[in-house]
Structure 1
């Protein structure tokens, strides 16, 4: 897929890797819908991209917000070609299963799995109308690791997102792929490293550069043969 002139939606695009992905797609020539619950930083992301971007306030757990997000792409820019399901997280925020109430851990499943499924479902028709499109789901190595995780619900949701991606593969008019990064070098990661003791920092893994994640996402969008593909980008041990 040639990206110049295409329309992309990026969820969770206010900060971190979402902002980096939105800016990269804008630099590649896409018009970008910046979707996030964080209005201040979401608007800033759109401002950084320029006049070919618009911020839309979106809670991805809301079906109405997701519908409005897709409509914004079509109404503002005339179509939809790329959907990056990046919104998610919360694996570090307690309480976790089994101590968390069912509604709390279920909300993490909704944020990290079913919201991406619903966004994809809503994007399919406008992608077909636009001549075809590509979906990239941003998961996490928490979904492929075999050891214990402090948030079993988060790990299960990311595992589900990976399997959804490979199971979906391709539908008429849309290809679905995924990237599975480890600890990404976001602003939060930098703050976490800075707060560590020197010994802990020396033992911590090296986060995955945001540009590296963006490179993979763009390649998955561009490659018309890519469908149901998963690219794992683990963080690296020091030394």
Structure 2
């Protein structure tokens, strides 16, 4: 998104070692920002960070760990010289019919998708608010999903957690405004993108007998999408760049669908 200039902005992207998160990190760098990737993938993460250029870095982060968040933000600020943007992208999806739900899988999705995002907002606020380690305000972009707005079979808990991300976003934006933090908080609802997670979902819903094949599942998604195609990583990444920029300076506390119309 070359028309948006993020030169001088400093961003932390969770789950940035692959998939959508990697695409978001690359788009932010292309717009001029410096980026720290925060991920549990200590093998992939540093390689991606190195490929982003001299102004980028990697920190290990389990987003469910409160103390881990504190350490990761402190390290990111040390690497970048400040912090202006936090993208809470890390997430997991474990496909299951409701009648077959396993409590361990439910807890994992709640922990990563919902708790992880909440902790990300917490530590972004603490760093960016007046008196914080960065202290100049900023932007938080949370990654929800079109699953928060539609009833797609096999992803009940994932959908619930992403609906929770939407509610967290709106309350966080209100708290930031009321308390004078100077941090805008928005979320995006990506549609299905053929990343490893997206391909895994198509395979899983076919395995569960909800569709005749992974191809049929993908076709059903496309049929529900007025744009007539799956999303691309760049579609989602460009939305993050936009919400992180001054072009979105009066957009706050909202969810932006980036789903080709699937969730309308």
- TM-score, structure 2 as length reference: 0.79
Look up the SS of the partner of 1:225 in the other structure. coil
Query: For structure 1, which segment, 187-196 or 228-237, has the greater mean C-alpha deviation from structure 2 after superposition?
Result: 187-196
1:44-63, aligned counterparts within 5 Å? 44-63=47-66
Q: Please say if 1:137 is aligned against 2:169.
A: no
1:31-180, aligned counterparts within 5 Å? 31-92=34-95, 94=96, 97=98, 99-128=100-129, 129-145=134-150, 147=151, 149-170=153-174, 171=176, 172-180=181-189
The Cα RMSD (Å) is 2.6
Query: For structure 1, which segment, 79-88 or 31-40, has the greater mean C-alpha deviation from structure 2 after superposition?
Result: 31-40
Q: Please say if 1:230 is aligned against 2:255.
A: yes
Instruction: Give, in whole Å, the separation in 2 of the partners of 1:98 and 1:160.
Output: 22
Deviation for aligned residue 1:91: 3.4
Deviation for aligned residue 1:101: 4.0
Unaligned regions of 5+ residues in structure 2, if any? 207-212, 223-228
Aligned to 1:186: 195
The alpha-carbon distance between structure 1 residues 148 and 190, as it changes in their structure 2 partners (threshold 3 A), is closer
Runs of 4+ residues over 6 Å off in structure 1 = 190-195, 197-200
1:10-29, aligned counterparts within 5 Å? 10-29=13-32
The alpha-carbon distance between structure 1 residues 70 and 201, as it changes in their structure 2 partners (threshold 3 A), is closer
Unaligned regions of 5+ residues in structure 1, if any? none
Look up the SS of the partner of 1:159 in the other structure. helix
- Contact 1:165–1:229 (Cα < 8 Å) also in 2: yes
Deviation for aligned residue 1:2: 5.8
Query: For structure 1, which segment, 157-166 or 185-194, has the greater mean C-alpha deviation from structure 2 after superposition?
Result: 185-194
